[in-house]
Amino acid sequence: MATRDSLIQVTDLKKYYNKGTIKALDGITVDINRDDVMVVIGPSGSGKSTFLRSLNLLEEPTGGSIVFDGVDITKKKVKNAEGKLVKLDIDMHRQKMGMVFQRFNLFPHMTILDNMTLAPMQVKHMGKAEAEEKALALLDRVGLKDRADAYPIQLSGGQQQRVAIVRALAMEPEVMLFDEPTSALDPEMVGEVLDVMKQLAHEGMTMVVVTHEMGFAREVGSRVLFMADGKLLEQGTPEEIFNDPKHPRLQDFLSKVL
Amino acid sequence: MHVSAAGFQKVFQYADMFKEGMLCTVYLSFFTVLLGFLLALVLTGMRMSDIRPFRALGLDKDGHLRDGGFLLALSKFNPIGFVATAYVEVIRATPMLVQLFIVYQVVFNKHVIDLPSVTVLGFLKLNRFLPGVIALALNSGAYVSEIIRAGIQSVDGGQTEAARSLGLTQGQNMRFIVLPQAVKNILPAIGNEFVTIIKESAITYTIGVQDLMAAVKAAQAGTFLVLEPLLVVAVLYFCLTFPTSKVIAYFERRMSRGDKR
């Protein structure tokens, strides 16, 4: 079960709607280790995004557990250090999980720099000077330091998504969750975003990536999960998944997307 | 009907009454918007509060959210929000005139709340003016509360998701992300509500508030002219509302220029 390097243990995760008639997630069990680049693939409606969004409780599961840093975050009450039952502080856990969305979700009324410094200043109570210095360094890494004073609308989709990635990184998360980060981009901008993600993976960031970019899954993924109908049907290394698919649904899916 | 310059000259003998009526209408509208906005803030606060006494019923014995059914619905029930929503719906579904008469004849009759017959702000009769303002504000508050709610709901849900996933609390999300964006939708609509109230305040004439409509009645009675006083008052209302809506439109444009979406 949980190894020393295990960061998130998902056990029998379920998300049912309408008294169980709709099963968005139907018993997902998976271990996410530190330094993993876990790529989740599958047809649309398979529950990939629901799975990812459950990891930081943007979706509240109806069953199962998600143990993150040793705490089951699906429980409303958890034992603290003294063994007393206290209310789970989900905001504290979310700080450690960066999330990147399909539609970027930058804050349109703030400059890029303010987008980057808001959470470090408000949540981590970092000083303005320090937060801005860190933000500028991160923006520099993705080649957007000179756009710090621009507003999101003034940036291209690819630039906005790169900002969204470093905005999440500014909180120094332990894991980054990517929800189809290139699906809303014009084709010529997909590469620049994938490059940033590759760089991140090479630096050893733990990542869970829901994507339709099979090239990325094959090249960067350390493990690939195949989901369909809310179930985890197959998992393995990219070689196993792409070169030797076992499940007929996976074979069928790959024949359509490759 | 015959309209003559001589007729208007007769009406102009009532200029002082029209002037006081116009000031009265302005005061009515101003205090109504002020009180109505405060009421709307309270109503919105009640509707957005997250006080759910049966919250625990939404969880099953393992502490997981239920996947449907009566208990899940009950766990989402917010009694304070329900009261506010019920108030808004009742106000929106009943005539302004009925609400005005209930306030004036039932609440402010001399057996319940007996207002002294005094004059405030120079010429306003308190025992007519105050019930008028309160009835208008009770009505306007419900509509403005709807405006605020719609403004908040118009902010993309992805904004909240992004804020919460960065670790911001729900309160911080509201303060830094949702409300600054909602205000751009809310302020112009509240400006339009101000214009609406200037016109709707005419209804308080029916309980004896000496507003523009009272000046019309006096001029009609004194001159035996029907149309001229009405034309004069229509022009005066227009002079109040048209510039107001132009000023609002100006600010609306200025705000959307700053809107970088």
CB A129 within 8 A of CB A193: no
| pLDDT higher than threshold 50 for residue A207 | yes
| Antiparallel, parallel or unpaired: β A22-33 and A6-17 | antiparallel
Most A CBs within 10 A among B165, B176, B260, hence the mutation to make, goes to: B165
Residuewise pLDDT in 10s, chain B (261 residues): 677 888 898 888 999 999 999 999 999 999 999 999 999 999 999 998 888 999 888 888 877 888 888 998 899 999 999 999 999 999 999 999 999 999 999 999 888 888 888 888 778 888 999 999 999 999 999 999 999 999 999 999 999 999 999 999 999 999 999 999 998 888 888 888 989 999 999 999 999 898 999 999 999 999 999 999 999 999 999 999 999 899 888 887 877 755 544
Which one, of B155, B186, B188, B191, lies nearest residue B173 by Cα?
B155
* CB-based contact, A214 to chain B, within 8 Å: no
Residue A2 has pLDDT above 60, yes or no: no
Contact (Cβ atoms closer than 8 angstroms) between residue B159 and residue B176:
no
Rounded CA separation A52/A97 (Å): 11
**B255: number of CA atoms within 13 Å, CB side?**
16
Compute the distance between CA of residue A160 and CA of residue A185 in angstroms, rounded to an integer. Answer: 10
Please tell me the distance from the alpha carbon of residue B95 to that of residue A37, in angstroms, as a whole number.
62
List, in order, residues 6 or more apart from B173 with CB less than 8 Å away.
B160, B163, B164
The pLDDT tens digits of the residues spanning A74-92 come to: 888 777 778 888 888 899 9
Considering only CB atoms, A20 lies closest to which of B67, B156, B158, namely B67
pLDDT mean over A157-179: 97
Q: Which pLDDT belongs to residue A1?
A: 45
| Cα B56 to Cα A65, B63, B64, B103, B240, distances in angstroms | 18, 9, 10, 41, 53
Please list every residue in chain A whose beta carbon sits closer than 8 Å to the beta carbon of residue B158: 101, 103, 105
Give A60→chain B minimum CA distance, Å.
7
Per-residue pLDDT, A73:
92
The predicted pLDDT at position B112 comes to 87
Which of B57, B64, B66, B76 should be substituted to probe chain A, the one whose Cβ sees the most A Cβ atoms within 10 Å?
A: B64
What are the tens digits of pLDDT across the range A11-51?
Answer: 999 999 888 889 999 999 999 999 999 999 999 989 999 99
Could you tell me the pTM of the whole model? 0.85
Q: What is the pLDDT of residue A254?
A: 95
Q: Count of A–B CB contacts within 8 Å?
A: 98
CA distance B82 to A221: 49
- Tell me how close the Cα of B49 comes to any Cα of chain A, in angstroms: 19
Average pLDDT (A125-154) is: 96
B160-177 exposure pattern, b = at least 16 Cβ within 10 A, e = fewer: bbbbbbbbbbeebbbebb
Stretch (H or E) spanning A87 = strand A85-87
In chain B, what's the furthest Cα-to-Cα distance? Answer: 86
Q: Which residue has the tokens 């943007």?
A: A58
pLDDT of residue A130: 97
The β-bridge relationship of strands B119-120 and B124-125 is antiparallel
Separation in Å, CA of A61 to nearest CA in chain B: 7
Predicted local confidence at residue A18, as pLDDT: 86
Q: How far apart are CA A122 and CA B176, in angstroms?
A: 10
In this predicted structure, the answer to whether residue A255 has a pLDDT above a threshold of 90 is yes
In eight-state DSSP terms, residue A105 is -
The answer to whether B74 and B54 have CB atoms below 8 angstroms apart is yes
Cβ-contact B168, A91 below 8 angstroms: yes
